Amino acid sequence: MLEEKNDNLQDADGKLGIEINDSTQDDATETLRSEAAAENVGSTTENELENTSETVENDEHNHQTALDAITNSNAEESEDETLKERHDIPMQDYDTFSLDALVDELRKLINTDKVMSVKDHIEEIKKSFLLQYNHLIEEKKEEFNASKQDPNEEFEYHSPLKSKFDEYYNVFREKRNAHFKHLQSNLKTNLENRLAIVEELKELINPQENIKDTLKHFNDLRERWKNAGAIPKDKYNHVWNNYHFHVENFYDYLHLDREARDLDFKYNLDQKQKIIARVEELANETDISKAFRELQDLHRIWKEDIGPVSKEYRDVIWNKFSELTKKIHDKREILFESQRANEQQNLEVKKGIIATIEVLGTEKVGSHSQWLVQIQKVEALRNEFFAAGKVPSEVNEETWAAFKTAVRNFNSFKNSFYKDIKKDQNDNLNKKMALVAKAKELQESTDFGATTPVMKQIQEEWKQIGHVPKKYSDKIWKEFKDACNHYFDKLKEHKSEENVDEVTAFDNKKAYLDVLRAYQLTGDHKTDLDAIKKHIEIWKGYGKVPFARRHIEGKFNKILDALFEKLSLSKKETEMMRFSNRIDSLSDSNDTRKLDNEKIFLMRKIEEVQNEIFQLENNIQFFTNTKNAKKENSIVLEVRKNIAIHKESLEVWKDKLKQLRNLNQE
C-alpha cells in the first residue's frame, strides 16, 4: 500500500523534499500500513500482506461492501453538496401515482431551490409518467384505428396533462443545466485550492522552522481544507488520500513538539470516540434508512474533518467503527431484502391482474352495454396494476410487456365486436341520411295536408333506425331536426293564420243557424229541395270552424234532418244527401285518416249486407224445395221482404262508397 501511495504521490506531487532516518521510516511505514488497511484506501500488495495481521485482512474483506457503499456515496456527494440534502424529501413509490398526481408532485418539487436534491425524485416521476402515458396513447391509437372511416386520416391525440408535465420538466431541466454550469466552474477552482493546500502541507516538514509557527500554519491549512468546497468525484479519493498522507507525515515524521502532537492525538481520539458512541446509538435506530444516511455523514467527518490518533489506538477505534458500520449496513441489507419481498408480492399481484385481463380478453359478450361493463372492469384492473407498486427490477420490463400484451389483446377482441356492428351502423347512417334528404326536400312545402303525414312518417322511421357511427351522430341529427323544425314551424304559422278565418267561419255559421231555423218549406217539392241545397252550399262556403267548436256542425245536421223529414224525400235520397254533407265536412278538415276510416267502414257494411242477403236467399231456397212450395207461406214472404230491404240498403252503401272514391280521385 505504501509503495503504491508513494508512487502516486511522486507522480502527482513530486519529491517529499525531506530526510528521513531508518527508525522514523519504519514507524511511518507501520503507521501508514495500518491506517491504509483500516481505512480501506487503495489496494494492498502481496509483500505488505506478509507484515499485516490475519485479523486485519479478514476485517478488510468482511467490511469491504459496507465501506465501499459509504465511500462511493460520499464521493458522489462531495462533487455536489446539494445531494447531501436529498434525503429531506422521501422517495415515494411513484408507480402507484395517477397521471394527475404525478404532474402535481412534479410541480411541487421544481419549486425547491436545491434542484439536485430532488433530481432522483423527478427522474422517477418522469419514468412513471411516461410509462402510464405511453400506455394510454397506445390504447387511444387502437381505438382510433378501430373506428376511423377515412384510411388517410392520421392519428392525433392532445393531452393538456402532458403539456403541463413537459412545461414543469423543462423548468427542472433549465434549473439543472444552470446548476451544472455553475458547479463545473466551482469544482475546478475548488480542486486547484485543495491541491495547493496539499502542496503547502508538503512544505511544512522543515526542521529549520519554529515548531509553533509550523503548527499554526498546519491548523490554518486544516481549516482552509474544511472550507475548500466540492471537487469532482473522480478526483475525490486521490486528493483526499494525498491530503491524509501528508497530514500523517506531519504527525509521524516530525517529533519536535511531541507534547503538542499528543494533545492533538488526544483531541482527535476523543472526537472519534464520540462518533463511535453515536454510531452505537444509530445501530439501534428503527429507521434504518435515516441511520445509514447519518452514518454517511459521520464517515465524512471521520475521514475529512478529524485528524489521526496515536498508533496504539488507530486499529482499535477503526475496527470498532467499521464493525458498527457493517452492523448498520447489514440491517440495511435486511431492509432491502424486506423491500424485495414486497416487490415479489407486488409481482404476484400484477401477475394476477394480467391473468384476469387475459380472461376478459376471451369472454364473448353480445351487446354494447355488456362491453361497457367489460371495459370498466379492465380500466379498474389497469388502475390496480399501477397502484400495486414496484416489482423486482430484473422482471420489470417482462411484467410491463405482459401487461401491455394482455390489454392490447383485450382491445383487439373488443374492436372485433365493434367492427362487426360497424357495417350495421354504416347502413343505418345511409338510411338516416336518406331521411335527412327527404326532410330537407319537404321543409319548404306549403301543401300541408299532404306533407304533414309524410313528415310525421319519416320521423317515426328515424326512431326505428338503430345507431350510427358516433362521429356522424350529432351532425346528421342536427340536420334532420332542423329540417323538421323548419317545416312544422311553417305549419304552426299557417295554422295560426287559419285560426282567424276559422273563428270568422264559426261566427258566420252560428248566425246562419238562426236563419236556417226560421226557414219554412213552401210545399213545392222541387222548390224546397233546391232551397235546402242552397242552404247547404252557403254553409259550406263559410269554411272550417275551430276544432273545439266543431259541435256546430251537429246542430246544422239536426236542422237538415228535420227539413228532410218534412220534404218527404225517398229514404235513399235523404240518406245520400246527409252522407254527402258529412263527407264534405271531413274533406274540409283535411283529415285523411278519418276519410280512410270511413272508407273501411263502408266496405265492411257492404260485406255484411251481402252476407246477410246470401243467407236469406239460402233460406228461401230451402222453403221453395218443400211440398208446399206452390203456396208461399207468411215466413217466405217475410224473408223476401227482408231481402228487398237489404238490397235497397246495399245500393245505398255502394253509392256512398262510390261517392267517397270519386272524392279521393278528385
Residue whose C-alpha is closest to residue 248's, from 315, 319, 322, 307: 307
Q: Is the pLDDT of residue 9 over 50?
A: no
**Interval 180-215: pLDDT, tens:** 777 777 788 888 888 888 888 887 776 666 767 777
CA distance 152 to 155: 10
Mean pLDDT of 585-612: 76
**Interval 574-593: pLDDT, tens:** 667 777 766 766 666 566 77
**Interval 250-262: pLDDT, tens:** 776 555 456 767 7
Q: Is the pLDDT of residue 103 over 70?
A: yes
DSSP 163-207: HHHHHHHHHHHHHHHHHHHHHHHHHHHHHHHHHHHHHHHHHH--T
CA distance 23 to 105: 64
**Interval 478-494: pLDDT, tens:** 988 998 998 888 887 77
Instruction: Read off φ and ψ for residue 397, nearest 5 degrees.
Output: -65, -40
- Residue 105 one-letter amino acid: E
Q: Which three cell numbers stand for residue 370?
A: 355488456
Residue labelled with grid coordinates 251537429: 554
For 542-589, where are the alpha helices, taking DSSP H only? 551-567, 571-588
CA distance 144 to 141: 5
Q: Is the pLDDT of residue 77 over 60?
A: no
Mean pLDDT of 125-130: 84
What confidence score (pLDDT) does residue 76 get?
Answer: 56
User: Do 320 and 278 meet the contact criterion of CB atoms below 8 Å apart?
Assistant: no
Residue labelled with grid coordinates 238562426: 514
User: Do 657 and 599 meet the contact criterion of CB atoms below 8 Å apart?
Assistant: yes
What confidence score (pLDDT) does residue 563 get?
Answer: 78
What confidence score (pLDDT) does residue 208 get?
Answer: 62
CA distance 569 to 575: 9
Q: Is the pLDDT of residue 4 over 60?
A: no
Q: What percent of the chain has pLDDT over 90?
A: 3
User: Do 109 and 118 meet the contact criterion of CB atoms below 8 Å apart?
Assistant: yes
Q: Is the pLDDT of residue 36 over 50?
A: no
- Position 24 confidence tier, pLDDT thresholds 50, 70, 90: very low
**Interval 322-332: pLDDT, tens:** 888 888 888 88
Return the percent helix, strand and coil in the chain, to nearest 5.
80, 0, 20
Q: Which three cell numbers stand for residue 243?
A: 491530503
Residue whose C-alpha is closest to residue 75's, from 301, 226, 300: 300
DSSP state of 84: G
Mean pLDDT of 501-505: 80
Which residues, at least 6 apart from 142, have a Cβ–Cβ distance to it below 8 Å?
Answer: 408, 411, 412, 415
User: Do 582 and 656 meet the contact criterion of CB atoms below 8 Å apart?
Assistant: no
* Cα-based distances in Å from 396 to 95, 343, 392, 653: 12, 10, 6, 91
**Where does residue 554 rank: exposed (0-12), middle (13-18), buried (19+ CB within 10 A)?**
exposed
Q: Is the pLDDT of residue 170 over 70?
A: yes
Q: Which three cell numbers stand for residue 546?
A: 275551430
Q: Is the pLDDT of residue 225 over 80?
A: yes
**Interval 279-319: pLDDT, tens:** 888 888 888 888 888 888 888 888 777 878 888 888 888 88
What confidence score (pLDDT) does residue 484 get?
Answer: 92
What confidence score (pLDDT) does residue 37 get?
Answer: 35
Residue whose C-alpha is closest to residue 543's, from 567, 512, 564: 512
DSSP 405-444: HHHHHHHHHHHHHHHHHHHHHHHHHHHHHHHHHHHHHHTT
CB atoms < 10 A from the CB of 436, how many?
22
Q: Is the pLDDT of residue 62 over 80?
A: no
pTM score: 0.41
Q: Which three cell numbers stand for residue 320?
A: 470498532
**Interval 422-463: pLDDT, tens:** 777 888 888 889 989 998 888 888 888 788 898 899 899 898
- Residue 420 one-letter amino acid: D
User: Do 642 and 626 meet the contact criterion of CB atoms below 8 Å apart?
Assistant: no
Q: Which three cell numbers stand for residue 634?
A: 207468411
User: Do 542 and 512 meet the contact criterion of CB atoms below 8 Å apart?
Assistant: yes
**Where does residue 567 rank: exposed (0-12), middle (13-18), buried (19+ CB within 10 A)?**
middle
Q: Which three cell numbers stand for residue 304?
A: 475529512
Mean of pLDDT over the chain: 75
What confidence score (pLDDT) does residue 485 get?
Answer: 92
CA distance 558 to 517: 10
Q: Which three cell numbers stand for residue 53?
A: 495481521
User: Do 187 and 230 meet the contact criterion of CB atoms below 8 Å apart?
Assistant: yes
Rounded to a whole number, what is the distance in angstroms from the first to the last CA of the chain? Answer: 125
Angle at the Cα of 509 (from 505 to 512), degrees rounded to 5? 140
Q: What percent of the chain has pLDDT over 70?
A: 76
User: Do 53 and 316 meet the contact criterion of CB atoms below 8 Å apart?
Assistant: no
What's the number of CA atoms in the CB half-sphere (13 Å) around residue 136?
16
The distance from CA 18 to its chain's CA centroid, rounded to whole angstroms, is 75
CA distance 142 to 409: 11
Q: Is the pLDDT of residue 12 over 60?
A: no
Mean pLDDT of 393-421: 84
